[in-house]
Amino acid sequence: MTASASRWAQAVLALPKPLLLAFDVDGTLAPFVPDPAAARVQDSVRQDLQGLSRCRGVRLALITGRDARSLAHVVRVPGAFRGVEHGRVIIAPGDRPHPEPLTAQERARLRAFEHWARDEVLPAGGHMEKKPRARTAHVRPLLKSHPKLARQLLKRAEEVARDHDLTVRQGRGVIEAELRSGDKGKALRSIRSRVRAKGVLFVGDDLTDHPAIAFAHEVGGVGLWVRGGSTGARPKIKSGTLASIEEVHALVSQLRQGLAPG
């Protein structure tokens, strides 16, 4: 157990209950890998998360840019709320996601970005991720090996998205082209209201996590930013810091040990 993880665990345990413990997934619970489809949360961490979801006075939430199907491949925690597609869709424990049909025009807009990504991003060594209402160009592997090319692709991805009237979301080595954007801060606020939590924890690592980190502080909770491996700037908002995914895992483990089972 690192000193930093232990200190933040004690801060969370001191928050008033009921507690809402919310986590981003990629770069927070699951390590980054070149192909996003191959990312997985370690079994030991998944077991700790499942244990937390069963603790008395605790509700767990995973708030991620992934869609529900993609998240299920990375980690399944039946007792957790899921805020998917950057919090645009919130799924309560036990509920199933409901597909939202696209219009022909919406499909065409997404298809245009997808075709560009397949022609330009994939041959360069990046990846293209399909979501129900978005397409994402990943060039994270190129940020170190070919930084100039990565920057050029990200800039062009933003231009292509805007050309087709898609909302642009920036992340670390990522441009997401969305039909309609979500907001992790609003998702965290909504889940907190639903479960009537008094204490709130949110842990995340990317630009898209800043609103949720800020909300956790706004309500007197704990908002933590994961520094390890980051290519993005530290949040300008107030936040605590964890040095790595391993520290996140240590935090999760200590919280499970410190909270009473249900």
| Residues 7 and 78 placed together within one structural domain of the fold | yes
Q: What is the Cα–Cα distance from 46 to 246, expressed in whole angstroms?
A: 14
| Residues 133 and 172 placed together within one structural domain of the fold | yes
Strand 127-131's sheet: what is its strand order?
A: 127-131, 134-138, 174-178, 167-171
Q: Give the whole-number percent of the chain exceeding pLDDT 90.
A: 81
| Residues 126 and 234 placed together within one structural domain of the fold | no
- Calculate the CA dihedral of residues 73, 230, 24, 110 and round it to 10 degrees: -60
* Burial profile 174-211: b = 16 or more Cβ within 10 angstroms, e = fewer: bbbbbbebbbbbbbbbebbeebebebbbbbbbbebbbb
| Residues 125 and 251 placed together within one structural domain of the fold | no
Q: Tell me the two tokens of residue 59.
A: 């509700």
| Residues 86 and 190 placed together within one structural domain of the fold | yes
Number of domains forming the structure of the chain: 2
pLDDT in tens, 51-61: 999 999 999 99
Q: What confidence score (pLDDT) does residue 140 get?
A: 86
Last residue of a domain, one of 156, 178, 200: 178
Domain containing residue 161: CATH number: 3.30.70.1020
| Most confident region among 30-34, 145-149, 176-180, 196-200 by mean pLDDT | 196-200
Q: Which domain holds residue 125?
A: 104-178
DSSP string, 134-189: EEEEE-TTHHHHSHHHHHHHHHHHHHHHHHTT-EEEEETTEEEEESS---HHHHHH
Domain containing residue 32: CATH number: 3.40.50.1000
| Residues 72 and 189 placed together within one structural domain of the fold | yes
| Residues 134 and 170 placed together within one structural domain of the fold | yes
| Residues 155 and 70 placed together within one structural domain of the fold | no
pTM of the predicted structure, to 2 decimals: 0.84
| Residues 203 and 253 placed together within one structural domain of the fold | yes
- Calculate the CA dihedral of residues 174, 132, 194, 30 and round it to 10 degrees: -40
